[in-house]
Amino acid sequence: MNKSTKPIQKHLVDFLEWCEVEKGLSSKTQENYSNFLKKFSEFLKIKNKLDIKPHDLTSDDVWQYRLFLARQKDAHSGKELRKTTQNYYLIALRALLNYFAERDITSLPAEKIKLARDAQKERGIHFLNLEQIEKLLLTPDTSSIQGIRDRAILETLFSTGLRVAELVALNREQFNNLNNKNELELQIIGKGHKPRTIYFSTRALEWIKKYIFLRKDTDKALFINYRARTQESRRLTVRSMERLVKKYAKLVGLPFFTSPHTLRHSYATDLLEQGVDLRIIQEFLGHANVATTQIYTHVTNKKLKDIHKKFHSLG
């Protein structure tokens, strides 16, 4: 490891280039990192530490920065920054420290950056049980092509654990020659331009086949809008998919929080409850870090606790 003679501030451009070239992060993510790190620069300026070098940064500096963030006010609401927002700033700083480690520049280890716990976010990890999932999947009226499309969408969401933006991006050509197939695996490019393999269940494929067979248009999108009358692509949008799931959830009385992401949570939770290793689930979901996948252990651990309380209690 080498001690850099440049202040942390002078490394920021190199860090963003590293994010682009080495990490393959999108321009939007780079822009976000740049904006979040401006807050750290503001903090250093207040503390008269703009010239601080990577190896001089201490755990106490990080603690002071966390206090600084906790006392910041949101420009619009005037309220203190939410824990989630504070964590965005901390994650950007942690990424910068990871860059220093990759470049053999002596600095504080990235693991010293502890994120703020957000109890509200933990409570917000919602999922459906298999009975609720089945009820949702059976809701669309499959006597019309729109209903068959909607059934294919719901089956695909639960079968694959796709993010809704990834589902929207699927094209019909990816499903050529499905006639004699009962299973399918596809390579997609997910969040952060990361490639991963997704797997379709036999049931999901059957509904996709039925839907494609009925299509008479030439639009390349797998799932299209039947209300559009323009000559442009009729590809369903993320918002359309969200409204679609909400509509069917409401029809069968499922919880108000039900959304495409709820199906992704349900997919991951079901795998974990079946004993699938957390790192395998990480691959299925396309999470860059297994720490992100660990939110599901919070859910299943709570379930185990409830089972223990019900069946193993003297009270």
82, 103, 135, 191: the catalytic one is 191
Q: Is 279 noted as a catalytic residue in this protein?
A: no
Q: Report residue 171 as tokens.
A: 């094209």
d(CA 36, CA 118): 19
Minimal CA–CA distance to 43: which of 79, 92, 83? 92
- Nearest 10 degrees: Cα torsion 225, 27, 296, 63: -150
89, 264, 265, 267: the catalytic one is 264
Taking the CA atoms of 34, 37, 42 and 47 in sequence, report the sign of the dihedral they define. negative
Given a cut of 70, the residues of the chain with pLDDT beneath it are: 117-125, 228-231, 298-315
User: How many CA atoms does the CB half-sphere of 126 hold within 13 Å?
Assistant: 13
The residue behind tokens 């036999």 is 202
Q: Is 229 noted as a catalytic residue in this protein?
A: no
Please provide residue 164's backbone torsions phi and psi, each rounded to the nearest 5 degrees.
-65, -35
Q: Is 261 noted as a catalytic residue in this protein?
A: yes
Specify the pLDDT at position 122: 46
d(CA 182, CA 208): 11
Q: Is 234 noted as a catalytic residue in this protein?
A: no
Specify the pLDDT at position 309: 59
Specify the pLDDT at position 231: 61
55, 112, 210, 261: the catalytic one is 261
Strand partners, 105: 2
d(CA 224, CA 175): 15
Q: Is 287 noted as a catalytic residue in this protein?
A: yes
Number of Cβ atoms within 10 Å of the Cβ of 290 = 12
Tell me which DSSP letter residue 236 carries.
Answer: P
Specify the pLDDT at position 63: 92
163, 172, 235, 265: the catalytic one is 163
